[in-house]
């Protein structure tokens, strides 16, 4: 048995022992959106005003070069979690655009995750309103509104239930501009939906369906990792001249907290962000797994006493680059390829299953463009190719131990 295989097997065995102290203790049921302590403590979150206002790529919607209003010295931030930042983005959109409307199941009551709390009272029931329980109808209604020039912000209550709307999204929204020869479009349509696991959602409330839309030319797919990203990317999606599916990781609604700029701003779509610079391995992911990846990188560099004997010193010194893809379609090929050409290794992490997942497309493109530079096969760490199990959901979702295992194998290939 090779040293790498022994390390891999031992790490998996140790996984049942190491995280015991991290297991949550609670006297009641977990919150519906889930909670992750590791997310809340992540150094990737911008928890000060200065760091928030220095977010890369931030563009102020009230920026006027002639008046100098684009400077950050007079701007303020407020502590928000992800759902509050998403609500703030929709509030900004409704204030700035009289044609903007927000609709979906229970949104007038605040929605399941409270993302639309108070919007109906502030802007009226003709601009923020409930719909019947029909995802196909919600998508079709949004397409019609956008085709008539309105800014349509639709909510599918869970991304697990977006499939009844698949025909409307893929065959109508994605193709509307093309079929009309660019005479008409539904670029003012944004479809929001909670996505990814919560730890106890099972087969109907913890799915990650982004891969199903990868072949739908004409759509954009965006998944944020934090409150600052959620607000900026959502406003960019609403303002983008193409229909956008905006998927919001549920466990980040309350777990991720940052100082978020109060003024309206956007962040660039189809532009990945390098969160940690490195030279030996590129780790590419998006959404909630960003924090799994960051924790795994930290554990590899500074293993706890239980794992010190299993991780060689040479691996602890590895320089690992972490990239947040942010926009899944169309994704930032240039940033990823440039990184892999430098590090010569790529590991892709996502919660969705491996077969037909986002990682499959990225691995194919990177192999085509970087083949002669690669020193190891492109590695994918994903959910298993089964329905998301209920009782065993924590074993389905890629965790820190699986990531450390994969990074070790890739670095020592």
The secondary structure of 116-174 as a DSSP string is: TTTHHHHH-TTTEEE--S-HHHHHHHHHHHHHTT--EEEE-S-GGG-GGGHHIIIIIIT
Q: What is the DSSP letter of 259?
A: E
- Cα angle, residue 310 at apex, residues 308 and 315 outer, rounded to 5°: 85
For residue 45, the SS3 value is coil
Is residue 326 left, alpha or beta, with left meaning phi > 0 and alpha meaning psi from -120 to 50?
left
Cα dihedral across residues 122, 125, 127, 130: positive or negative = positive
Two structure tokens written together for 19? 């995280």
Tokens representing residue 131 in the block: 């719909």
DSSP run (H or E) holding 42:
none
The pLDDT of residue 38:
78
The angle, 0 to 180 degrees and rounded to 10, between the axes of the packed helices 3-14 and 400-411 is 170
Catalytic residue among 105, 155, 172, 205: 205
Task: Return the pLDDT at 322.
Answer: 98
Phi/psi of residue 128, nearest 5 degrees: -135, 110
> If DSSP codes are grouped into helix, strand and coil, which group holds residue 57?
coil
**Which tokens hold the place of 351?**
């919660």
Given a cut of 80, is residue 9 above it in pLDDT?
Answer: no
Spell out the residues 6+ positions from residue 279 whose beta carbon is closer than 8 angstroms to its own. 319, 321, 342, 343
Any idea how long the chain is? 413
* pLDDT classification of 63: cutoffs 50, 70, 90: confident
Catalytic residue among 135, 172, 258, 409: 135
Q: How confident is the model at residue 389 (pLDDT cuts 50, 70, 90)?
A: very high
The C-alpha atoms of residue 110 and residue 253 are separated, in whole angstroms, by 14
Q: Retrieve residue 120's tokens.
A: 């109906």
Helix (H, G, I), strand (E, B) or coil at 81: strand
How does residue 14 score in pLDDT terms, banded at 50, 70 and 90? low
* Residue pair 400/296 in contact by the 8 Å Cβ criterion: yes
263-315 pLDDT tens trace:
999 999 999 999 999 999 999 999 999 999 999 999 999 999 988 998 999 99
Cis ω for the linkage preceding 330 (within 30 of 0):
yes
Phi, psi of 245, deg, nearest 5:
-100, 115
User: Mean pLDDT throughout 2-20?
Assistant: 53
- Give residue-wise pLDDT tens across range 153-162: 999 999 999 9
What mean pLDDT is predicted for residues 350-360?
97
In this model, does residue 112 exceed pLDDT 90?
A: yes
Which residues, in sequence order, are bridge partners of residue 130? 104
pLDDT for the residue numbered 18: 44
pLDDT more than 70, % of the chain: 89
Round to whole Å and give the CA distance between 303 and 296: 9
Burial of 380 (C-beta count, 10 Å sphere; 0-12/13-18/19+): buried
CA-to-CA separations, 28 to 39, 40, 205, in angstroms, rounded: 21, 20, 20
The contacts of residue 70 (CB under 8 Å, 6+ apart) are 60, 63, 64
- The answer on pLDDT for 214 being more than 90 is yes
Q: Helices 358-370 and 333-343: crossing angle, nearest 10°?
A: 60
Q: At what angle do helices 82-96 and 227-239 cross, to 10 degrees?
A: 30
**Cβ 215 vs Cβ 209: under 8 Å:** no
Active site residue 205: yes
Tens digit of each residue's pLDDT (9 = 90 or more) over 20-61:
333 344 455 555 556 667 798 999 999 999 999 999 999 999
Told to judge if 334 belongs to the known catalytic residues of this protein, a careful annotator would answer no
pLDDT value at position 183? 95
Coil vs helix vs strand at 234: helix
Query: Distance between CA 284 and CA 282 in Å, rounded?
Result: 6
């Amino acid at each position: 048995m090779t040293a790498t295989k022994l390390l891999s097997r031992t790490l998996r065995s140790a996984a049942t022992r190491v995280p015991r102290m991290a297991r949550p203790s609670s006297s009641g049921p977990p919150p519906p959106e889930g909670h992750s302590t590791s997310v809340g403590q992540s150094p990737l979150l911008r928890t000060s005003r200065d760091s928030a206002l220095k977010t890369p790529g931030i563009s102020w919607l009230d920026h006027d070069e002639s008046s100098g209003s684009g400077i950050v010295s007079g701007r303020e931030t407020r502590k928000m979690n992800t759902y509050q930042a998403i609500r703030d983005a929709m509030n900004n959109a409704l204030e700035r655009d009289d044609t903007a409307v927000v609709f979906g199941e229970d949104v007038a009551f605040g929605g399941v995750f409270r993302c639309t709390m108070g919007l109906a009272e502030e802007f009226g029931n003709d601009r923020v309103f409930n719909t019947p329980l029909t995802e196909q109808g919600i998508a079709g209604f949004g397409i019609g509104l956008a085709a008539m020039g309105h800014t349509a912000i639709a909510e599918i209550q869970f991304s697990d239930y977006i499939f009844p709307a698949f025909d409307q999204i893929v065959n109508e929204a994605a193709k509307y501009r093309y079929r009309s020869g660019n005479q008409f479009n539904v670029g003012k349509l944004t479809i929001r939906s909670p996505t990814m696991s919560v730890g106890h959602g099972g087969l109907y409330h913890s799915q990650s369906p982004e891969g199903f839309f990868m072949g739908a030319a004409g759509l954009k797919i965006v998944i944020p990792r934090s409150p600052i990203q959620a607000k900026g990317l959502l406003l960019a999606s609403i303002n983008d001249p193409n229909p956008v599916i905006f998927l919001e990781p549920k466990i980040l609604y309350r777990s991720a907290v940052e100082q978020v700029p109060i003024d309206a701003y956007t962040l660039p779509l189809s532009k990945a962000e390098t969160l940690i610079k490195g030279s030996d391995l590129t780790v590419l992911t998006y959404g909630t797994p960003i924090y799994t990846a960051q924790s795994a990188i930290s554990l590899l560099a500074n293993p706890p006493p239980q794992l010190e004997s299993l991780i060689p010193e040479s691996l602890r010194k590895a320089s690992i680059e972490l990239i947040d893809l942010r926009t899944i379609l169309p994704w930032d090929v240039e940033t990823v390829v440039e990184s892999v050409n430098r590090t010569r290794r790529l590991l892709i992490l996502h919660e969705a299953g491996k077969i037909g997942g986002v990682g499959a497309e990225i691995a194919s493109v990177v192999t085509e463009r970087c083949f002669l530079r690669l020193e190891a096969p492109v590695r994918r760490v994903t959910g298993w190719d089964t329905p998301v199990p209920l009782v065993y959901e924590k074993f389905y979702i890629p965790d820190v131990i699986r990531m450390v295992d994969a990074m070790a194998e890739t670095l020592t290939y």
